[in-house]
Amino acid sequence: MPFPTPAQHELVVLIRPGLLTYATDDNGNPSGLEYDLTQAFAQELGVDVKYLVVEPEELEDHLVGGRYHLAAAWLSPSADETMQATPAITLTRDVLVQNEASLPLSERAQLSGKTVHAMAGSRQAETLSRLAREIPGLSVVTVGQGTSLDLLEKLGEREIEYVAIDESFEEIANQYVPNMRATLTLSETAPVVWQLGRHPNPELRVKLDAFIERVGHDGTLARLEDRYLGHVRRLRQADVVKFLGEVETTLPRFRKFFEAAQALTGIDWRLLAAVSYHESHWDPNATSYTNVRGIMMLTEDTADHLQVGNRLDPSESILAGARYINMLKELLPEEVEEPDRTWLALAAYNIGPGHFNGARTLAKQLKADPNSWYDMKRVLPKLAQPRYFSMVKTGRARGGEAVILVENIRSYYDILLRNAPPFAPTPSAAASLTRLVLEIEERRKAYVKRETIAKTIAATEKDEADVATLRLPTIGPEVKE
């Protein structure tokens, strides 16, 4: 195909659905490690991207057809030597996963007489095809519709016994199918590449090779891998099982409050629920030894600033927590992009905006990017070390706890995105939520009125002219060259 230029051509990318390749959220916004990487390459060329999203069963025909500049579908180099590819983007291998209730396989020879599923057109399908020639009785079933995660959910329900998947994807999938486990390595370590077809554009090939070498050295690829894989290793299997149980039994009691908070603040109710679960395990009466209380674990100062009448009232606490997260997001510099803006705000939610501001100052001193969660999650734990907290005026803080909070929330949020529908109220439900928000607001106003009267009386008795109020420090201005 012709070399893509800003004036004449788009970069045509062949891609297939998947959490690491190309997926869309409830609003149709795309994401995925390979999606982000192709966007970065196109930006370097100064061109737009045209994505040809194909189902797994159609991938092979499209690869041979050649009407694309590159194929980004978590692919290995083709066995067909006439099909060209980029240098390795990353390395991975294929593994066998099975339900934890079944007898684990310990060697490949035990695959004899077994049926193993894989996605059509995948590297795993090729691996199994090769193994089937070596292992008598191994039956391979390739699935042409859906995603690997759909296949693994069938494994979790014991509708099928064995699935071959990419080792990197196994860590993500454990969040959604906690009763699966990897038991066998099916292949040696192999490169993940972008396939270029039989006759790639020579100029494009040179730029692709240079791009892949650069992103492997300048941290771009590491940041993308962290965005999609960095948090998935945090939760234990028992944590996921417990959380999924609470989603079924406890979450329904509070869901309307989370949805009301989304209606008022715009924050996805599932993210608020993930924050709340990490903070209190959805216990409206939760109280820490530092007197942080409620389902969103608000401090007394924060609750006063947000004019919360009763921290133990889940409707008030959830709405206040959502408002507080938005406040923290707004305090960040304008150039901070999502999803980093949200993760950074959640770290400030845990550690406090003052200490978080100190961490941003420290990041600048350490030549790290204070606007990047990838960098900040390495800086925050240093606030517990005298060598580093002495460098900032806000002093010592448990920054490592803030990192754990954010990474766990990311995992819980991922699980809820898969297991709970987005907020899309019917007219009657919307009217009910409106009444609920008004009720919460009326309680808040009544609280403010009581507090105002009490302060007026106190001021009169003590002849005080002013009453001190909490002011949140802004996040960002302290970071200077």
- Model pLDDT, residue 480: 45
Q: What is the DSSP string of 438-465?
A: HHHHHHHHHHHHHHHHHHHHHHHHHT-S
Q: What is the DSSP string of 24-65?
A: E-TT--EE-HHHHHHHHHHHHHT--EEEEE--HHHHHHHHHH
Whole-model pTM: value is 0.79
Q: In the chain, which stretches have pLDDT less than 50?
A: 467, 479-481
H or E stretch including 353?
helix 353-365
Residue 116 carries which side chain, given as an amino acid letter?
V
What is d(CA 212, CA 360) in angstroms, rounded to the nearest whole number?
30
Per residue in 453-463, pLDDT tens? 666 666 666 65
- Model pLDDT, residue 340: 96
What is d(CA 178, CA 62) in angstroms, rounded to the nearest whole number?
34
Point out the catalytic residue in the list 34, 126, 259, 279: 279
- Tokens representing residue 2 in the block: 């012709």
- Model pLDDT, residue 307: 86
Q: Is 439 annotated in the active site?
A: no
- Tell me how far CA of residue 277 lies from CA of 153, 296, 406, in angstroms: 24, 8, 12
- Model pLDDT, residue 438: 76
- Model pLDDT, residue 19: 83
Structural domains in the chain plus CATH codes: 11-85+195-229 (3.40.190.10), 94-187 (3.40.190.10), 237-419 (1.10.530.10)
- Model pLDDT, residue 433: 73
